């Protein structure tokens, strides 16, 4: 197979081909390394690049294959973990000058699972400093650009992961999502991105392990590839109190779930959020497509009045906990938006925390009650199109000023506040040729159901999903 054929094939297909010894791991890894060498100088998605080590590891895996052995579901596939997570032997910079030269001594939980499944690490994927903000740039590695338009943002904070998968440098990638850090770059990159239920992909990271806000999940070009990676990275973890004790193999037997007969709630603006007119038109068109597929689409006026309080309170607390000391010790090496989050948290009163905790419980129960009557919620995934890379963040949408650096992400962050799983799926392109995705939200722990509806949606928007970047 040619380099192009190998880098365009789905991850699940490549894994099967390696397993059947139709192609070697070395061939697959070399093809992706060639693609990285060709594309990454322009896109800047892969950092801490290790091509020679990757080839050596691929040869080791091919030797196992020759003996009829397989490491697991990702045997022989190239992989790069988001640069917020440790991979033994590779730097973990978190996009921060504070951590340049910091080499991980051991794998994080997610990296260990990916390694144990047979993946070949080729490097890391770029992220904004400490994952703050949904535009991927930092003072260590620079800006990650959108493969569909190099003058535009790839989103973030999993922007490097998304851009690498979109452009064929990786077959699949991991991401993390607090305020939309999987879903935004998935929409910006014409990808599938799943924000799983908290605890589905367990972590042993420091911090408040009881907080369901920040989760880990997959980014892929197809639903089955997202499910393949989810089957690898989701498993119980004793150190994670929200960990879900279900067999990860349940994501390997997905069956398309028909829209015919389904009841789908439709929120065109998630509580009155401003949207770019093209995003609004695309989301309305997506609702019509769901109806054309046989679903009963029910417009709803959701009560999300407390969602911003919930998200903004617990987000700021997370950053105060994780980076407050570093920001105080190295104020000249930390960007202003992180300092702002830390300062907001430092100003919270006990009353603020009590109100936010109670509001989070009310939101959760309100959405679980919604899903007593409907199967899914359809909503806009992003509020804007991919924006110019020179912007730190959008400061207004359709004439409405944004009050904080993440206010333009509220179509994602309001869903985060509910603790429900959410799936970003491709839908259409703007007049400028930029991807626009939509967001399906499901009941708590209904990750498999979301993916099965996603399989059906994927078939309905196959032409959109096949539209590759001009690179």
DSSP 319-387: HHHHHHHHHHH-GGGS-HHHHHHHHHHHT--HHHHHHHHHHHHHHHHHHHHHHHH-SEEEEES-SS---
Instruction: Single out the catalytic residue among 24, 65, 94, 157.
Output: 157
CATH number, residue 41: 3.90.1300.10
Q: Is 124 a residue of the active site?
A: no
What is the domain range of residue 147? 3-465
pTM for the full predicted model: 0.98
In a domain, 446, yes or no: yes
Q: How far apart are CA 145 and CA 206, in angstroms?
A: 30
Q: Is 82 a residue of the active site?
A: yes
In a domain, 216, yes or no: yes
Question: In this predicted model, what pLDDT tens digit does every residue of 114-156 receive, in sequence order?
Answer: 999 999 999 999 999 999 999 999 999 999 999 999 999 999 9
Instruction: Single out the catalytic residue among 48, 65, 181, 407.
Output: 181
Instruction: Single out the catalytic residue among 25, 65, 82, 176.
Output: 82
Nearest Cα neighbor of 76 from 84, 65, 87 is 65
Residue 50: the pLDDT is 98
Q: What angle, 0 to 180 degrees and rounded to 10, lies between the N-to-C axes of helices 109-116 and 223-233?
A: 110
Q: Is 48 a residue of the active site?
A: no
Residue 471: the pLDDT is 82
- For the chain, list residues with pLDDT below 70: none
In a domain, 470, yes or no: no
Question: In this predicted model, what pLDDT tens digit does every residue of 69-85 receive, in sequence order?
Answer: 999 999 999 999 999 99
Residue 326: the pLDDT is 95
Tally the domains of the chain: 1
Phi, psi of 441 (to 5 degrees): -115, 140
Tokens of 103: 């080499």
In a domain, 471, yes or no: no
């Amino acid at each position: 197979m040619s380099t192009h054929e190998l880098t365009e094939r789905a991850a699940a297909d490549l894994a099967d081909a390696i397993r059947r010894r139709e192609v070697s791991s070395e061939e697959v890894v070399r093809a992706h390394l060639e693609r990285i060498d060709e594309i990454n100088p322009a896109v800047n998605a892969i950092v801490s690049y290790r091509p020679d080590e990757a080839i050596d590891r691929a040869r080791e895996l091919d030797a196992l294959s020759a003996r009829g052995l397989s490491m697991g579901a990702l045997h022989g596939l190239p992989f790069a973990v988001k640069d917020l997570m440790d991979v033994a032997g590779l730097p973990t910079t978190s996009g921060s000058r504070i951590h340049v030269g910091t080499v991980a001594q051991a794998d994080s939980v997610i990296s260990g699972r990916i390694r144990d499944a047979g993946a070949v690490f080729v490097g890391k994927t770029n992220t904004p400093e400490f994952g703050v903000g949904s535009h991927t740039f930092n003072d260590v590695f620079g800006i990650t650009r959108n493969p569909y338009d190099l003058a535009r943002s790839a989103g973030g904070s999993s922007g490097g992961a998304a851009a690498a998968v979109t452009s064929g440098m990786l077959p699949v990638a991991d991401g993390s999502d607090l305020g939309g850090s999987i879903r935004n770059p998935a929409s910006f990159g014409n990808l599938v991105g799943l924000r799983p239920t908290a605890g589905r992909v367990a972590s042993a990271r420091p911090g408040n392990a009881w907080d369901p806000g920040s989760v880990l999940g997959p980014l892929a070009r197809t639903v089955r590839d997202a499910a393949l990676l989810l089957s690898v990275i989701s498993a119980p973890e004793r150190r994670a109190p929200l960990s879900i004790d279900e067999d990860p193999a349940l994501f390997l037997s997905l069956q398309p779930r028909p829209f015919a007969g389904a009841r789908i709630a439709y929120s065109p603006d998630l509580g009155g959020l401003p949207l770019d007119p093209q995003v609004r038109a695309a989301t309305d068109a997506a609702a019509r497509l769901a109806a054309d597929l046989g679903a009963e689409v029910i417009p709803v006026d959701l009560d999300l009045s407390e969602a911003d309080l919930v998200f903004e309170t617990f987000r700021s607390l997370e950053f105060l906990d994780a980076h407050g000391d570093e920001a105080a010790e190295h104020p000249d090496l930390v960007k202003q938006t992180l300092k702002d989050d830390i300062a907001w948290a430092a100003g919270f009163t006990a009353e603020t925390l009590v109100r936010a905790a109670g509001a989070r419980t009310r939101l959760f129960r309100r959405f679980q009650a919604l899903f007593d009557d409907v199967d899914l919620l359809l909503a806009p995934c992003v509020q804007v199109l991919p924006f110019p890379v020179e912007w730190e963040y959008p400061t207004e949408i359709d004439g409405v000023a944004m009050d904080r650096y993440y206010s333009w992400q509220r179509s994602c962050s309001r869903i985060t506040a509910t603790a429900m799983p959410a799936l970003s799926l491709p839908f259409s392109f703007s007049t400028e040729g930029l991807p626009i995705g939509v967001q399906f939200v499901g009941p708590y722990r209904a990750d498999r159901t979301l993916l099965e509806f996603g399989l059906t949606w994927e078939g309905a928007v196959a032409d959109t999903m096949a539209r590759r970047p001009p690179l």
